[in-house]
Amino acid sequence: MSLCPLDQLGFDWCPGCGLGRSMSLLLKGDFQASWSMHPLAMFAYLVIFSRIWTLINNLKTTHNYG
């Protein structure tokens, strides 16, 4: 069972699902399979980590804890 609407409609390839699977493969160290699944997985990790870094820095400087 998948929550992906394209998967439910019977399509084999979905850009969102491919990105998630590609990111998972990248963490496992399977770079070639990750690249063939979706070439933007490394960029997605860079975006996610830069956003986390920004949020942590904002939290440290604003002292707004709630």
Question: For residue range 12-29, what is the model confidence (pLDDT) as tens digits?
Answer: 878 788 888 899 999 999
Q: How many domains are there within the chain? A: 1
Backbone angles phi, psi at 27, to 5 degrees: -65, -30
Spatial neighbors of 8 by CB under 8 A, at least 6 apart, are: 2
Average per-residue pLDDT in the chain? Answer: 87
The pLDDT confidence band at residue 63, using thresholds 50, 70 and 90, is low
pTM of the model: 0.68
pLDDT at 62 over 80: no
Domain holding 46, by residue range, is 5-62
